[in-house]
């Protein structure tokens, strides 16, 4: 599959000089870690990449999450990210609806999600990133989905996620910070096991994940015990 996460890299937002409203620049340590882990995942041989993707698909489809969800959003893998393609094939065969992120119109720097069926045409958005055509597939808000499968650069065992730095998912899902009981959708990170780090400093705008699936393990924090069975 393709290049969704390049959206986050290509559109990384610079801090404004207005300190009252702008997000601060990423710390030097986070920027250095981002480069290090991106290089680490790109170094995974292609054959091993495919194996990881198959293992991820097997593990996820055995989980309660897979059995219970009816609609979910995923991404197009890029830059060494673990490929959800084999998982998406199983999801489609199970009759579930698959969505992809779509840029919201300017000036927003957040996302909608549009359904994507096998064989549907993807068109480049204003930044050259492939996405569904919203004229054919009307977009829906995040809260209408059951799950969002999210790419990431690094993660820790506390559920913190380091992304590409653009903040698109964080802006899109900011409403979840105000929700303690009703949380929809569940946020599931997908990664190679080698992307795990001892700890990540949580930023005030970060949206914590409910679980992370890798080719080797499941890490869960907000899910019922049945949900993380392999």
Identify the band that residue 165 occupies on the pLDDT scale cut at 50, 70 and 90: confident
Which pLDDT value is given to residue 9?
A: 46
In a domain, 208, yes or no: yes
**Domain boundaries, position 207:** 4-14+24-228
Give ∠ CA 48-154-18 in degrees, rounded to 5. 145
Residue where the block lists tokens 């949206």: 207
Q: What is the pTM of this model?
A: 0.81
Average pLDDT, the chain: 83
Which pLDDT value is given to residue 98?
A: 96
Which pLDDT value is given to residue 21?
A: 42
Task: Give yes or no for residue 80 having a pLDDT over 70.
Answer: yes
The string of pLDDT tens digits covering residues 186-229 is: 999 999 999 999 999 877 777 889 999 999 999 998 665 444 43
In a domain, 192, yes or no: yes
**Residue closest to 151 by CA, chosen among 48, 228, 226, 41:** 41
Task: Give yes or no for residue 147 having a pLDDT over 60.
Answer: yes
Identify the band that residue 24 occupies on the pLDDT scale cut at 50, 70 and 90: very low
Number of domains in the chain: 1
Beta bridge partners of 149: 188
H helices, E strands: number in the chain: 6, 11
Determine the Cα–Cα distance for residues 209 and 188; give it in Å rounded to an integer. 6
Task: Over range 59-84, report the average pLDDT.
Answer: 93
Which pLDDT value is given to residue 110?
A: 81
Which pLDDT value is given to residue 207?
A: 82
Token representation of residue 73: 């959003």
In a domain, 194, yes or no: yes
Residue where the block lists tokens 């549907």: 120
187 CB-contact burial (10 Å; exposed 0-12 / middle 13-18 / buried 19+): buried
DSSP result, 119-182: T--EEE-TTS-EEE-TTTS--B-GGG-SEEEE--SEE-TTS-EE--SS-HHHHHTGGGGG-SS-
DSSP state of 216: S
- Give, rounded to a whole angstrom, the gap between the first and last alpha carbons of the chain: 25
DSSP result, 142-157: GGG-SEEEE--SEE-T
Strand-strand pairing, 186-190 and 147-150? parallel
Task: Give yes or no for residue 4 having a pLDDT over 90.
Answer: no
CATH number at residue 124: 3.40.50.10420
| Better-scored residue on pLDDT, 6 or 159 | 159
Are the C-beta atoms of 109 and 167 separated by less than 8 Å? yes
Which pLDDT value is given to residue 166?
A: 73
**Residue closest to 82 by CA, chosen among 202, 219, 212:** 212
In a domain, 19, yes or no: no
């Amino acid at each position: 599959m393709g290049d969704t996460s390049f959206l986050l890299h290509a559109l990384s937002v610079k801090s404004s000089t207005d300190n009252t409203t702008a997000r601060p620049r990423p710390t030097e340590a986070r920027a250095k870690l981002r480069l290090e882990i991106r290089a680490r995942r790109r170094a995974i041989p292609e054959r091993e990449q495919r194996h990881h993707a198959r293992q991820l698909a097997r593990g996820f489809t055995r989980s309660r999450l897979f059995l219970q969800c009816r609609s979910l959003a995923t991404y197009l893998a890029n830059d060494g990210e673990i490929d959800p393609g084999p998982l998406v094939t199983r999801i489609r065969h199970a009759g579930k609806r698959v969505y992809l992120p779509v840029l919201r119109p300017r000036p927003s720097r957040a996302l909608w999600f549009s359904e994507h069926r096998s064989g549907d045409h993807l068109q480049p958005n204003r930044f050259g990133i492939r996405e569904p055509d919203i004229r054919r597939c009307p977009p829906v808000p995040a809260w209408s989905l059951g799950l969002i499968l999210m790419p990431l650069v690094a993660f820790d065992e506390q559920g913190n996620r380091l992304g590409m730095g653009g903040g698109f998912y964080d802006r899109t899902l900011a409403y979840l910070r105000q929700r303690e009981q009703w949380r929809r959708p569940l946020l599931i990170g997908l990664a190679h096991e080698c992307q795990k780090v001892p700890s990540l400093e949580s930023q005030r705008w970060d949206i914590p994940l409910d679980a992370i699936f890798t080719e080797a393990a499941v890490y869960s924090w907000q899910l019922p015990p049945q949900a993380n069975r392999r």
